[in-house]
Structures are given as structure tokens and as C-alpha cells.
Amino acid sequence: MKLYGMLYSLLFTSLYTDASNHCNINLSGFLKHSRVFKQSGFIFNKQDRLRVQLSKFDNFKPVGKDECCKIINKWKLENMEDRDYRHMLDVGMRQICDYNIFPVYIHIPKAEYIVINLVTEKNVNIINIIDRKNNTNYIDKVILKYHVFLVQYNYNPNYYELKSHNMKHFLNIFFLNFLSDQENKLIYFKKNDYIRFLEEDTKKRGGNTS
């Protein structure tokens, strides 16, 4: 009986040591992969968060790059004779191929758009907006809604690269006053800190909070 206990103890110790060694190897591998994900996965996580948050909106559809290219090719086929328009779509398609690009498809009655976002650690940069040529409904109200969403969730939208790629939509952004830091602060505070919103709004109107 005593011998049996000693053998059992040796067997248990051997199995425990072996299991510990395997666990250390696996843990080391896990930590190694975790570092890799930490270094290269930030943009993916941010895009994933964007995708989930946008899913509650009817008009905004985050699309994969393959699906996005199919939509653009469809628009190109509809306008085989318009060389300038097809070139504009080709520019957008090349932009979408970048690793950090996050395209959002906007479908409203009688109009379709693709907003090409470059997602960075600090910003969501709207670098281009391409549209279906036969749109009869303009984008103003929907892009305003998209802008408000980005500001409310602290994505810090930036439109300056849009100036280089699509002056028409950049001027639209300019006249909608999306470039105003003060207006963006009010949008953010209205959702996230309503007391601060009231204070800032009163200052803007020339009142006194005291």
C-alpha cells in the first residue's frame, strides 16, 4: 500500500511537470501572438468597432472591399462612354485597395454613394466620396448624419484629403460647416456631456452661464 502511494506520487509529479512545460510553451506562444495582434491589430479593432456601431443605421452599410469593387464596376458598366467618370471610379477603386481603408456604402432613395475612409489611430479621414452618376437625390442630409455619428463617438473626422480627390464633395463639406471645431465640440458634448453642451452652447449664443 505504501509502495503504491509512492508510485502514485511519482506519476502525479511527472504528469504535473509535463503539463506545466506544455502550458508554458502554449502561454509563450499565446503571448507572442498577443504582441503581434497588439502591434498590427489596432486598426482592425477600430474598423470592427465602427462596423458594429454603424450597423444600427439603415442608410449606412459597411461593405467588404470585394463587394465595394463590384458596386463600382456596376457603375462603370452603366457609363461605358463617360471616360472621365470611369477614371474617377478607378481612382476610388485603387484607394479602396489600401490596407487601412474602410468603405461605407450609402444607399438612400434615388441615390448611392461610397464614402472612402482612411482609419488611423487618431482620426477617420474621409479621403473620397464617389457617387453613382444617375443620382437624383443629393447627399447633404445623409453625410451630415454620418458626420454627427463620427463626432459623437469621438472618431475625429477629417476631410482635408477629400479636397485633393473630390473638390465637389469637399465644397459640400465646407458649406455644411463640418470643419468647425466649435460645432464639433457641441455635437460631441450634446451626446456625451449634456451639462457641458449647455454651457458651450450658451457661450456661443453670447449668454452667461453664471
* pLDDT tens-place string over residues 157-168: 998 888 888 888
| pLDDT (0 to 100) of residue 44 | 52
161: nearest Cα among 170, 171, 174, 173: 170
| pLDDT (0 to 100) of residue 124 | 93
Percent of the chain topping pLDDT 90: 27
User: Of 16-30, 64-78, 136-150, which one has max mean pLDDT?
Assistant: 64-78
| pLDDT (0 to 100) of residue 33 | 38
Tell me how far CA of residue 187 lies from CA of 89, 90, 99, 110, 123, in angstroms.
32, 35, 30, 29, 16
Mean pLDDT of 29-38: 41
| pLDDT (0 to 100) of residue 31 | 37
Kindly tell me the burial class for residue 9, based on how many C-beta atoms sit within 10 Å of its own C-beta (0-12, 13-18, 19 or more): exposed
| pLDDT (0 to 100) of residue 207 | 54
Q: Which residues of 41-67 are buried (b: 16+ CB within 10 A; e: fewer)?
A: eeeeebbeebeebbeeeebbbbbeeee
Domain ranges in the chain?
59-179
Three cell numbers at 18? 509535463
Give the distance from CA 113 to its chain's centroid: 16
User: Of 4-18, 88-102, 188-202, which one has max mean pLDDT?
Assistant: 88-102
Q: What architecture is the 59-179 domain classified under in CATH?
A: 3-Layer(aba) Sandwich (3.40)
| Residue 166 phi, psi dihedral angles, 5° rounding | -155, 85
| pLDDT (0 to 100) of residue 141 | 83
| pLDDT (0 to 100) of residue 20 | 43
Position 26 confidence tier, pLDDT thresholds 50, 70, 90 = very low
Cα-trace Rg, the chain:
26
Instruction: Assess whether pLDDT exceeds 70 at residue 12.
Output: no
pTM of the model: 0.70
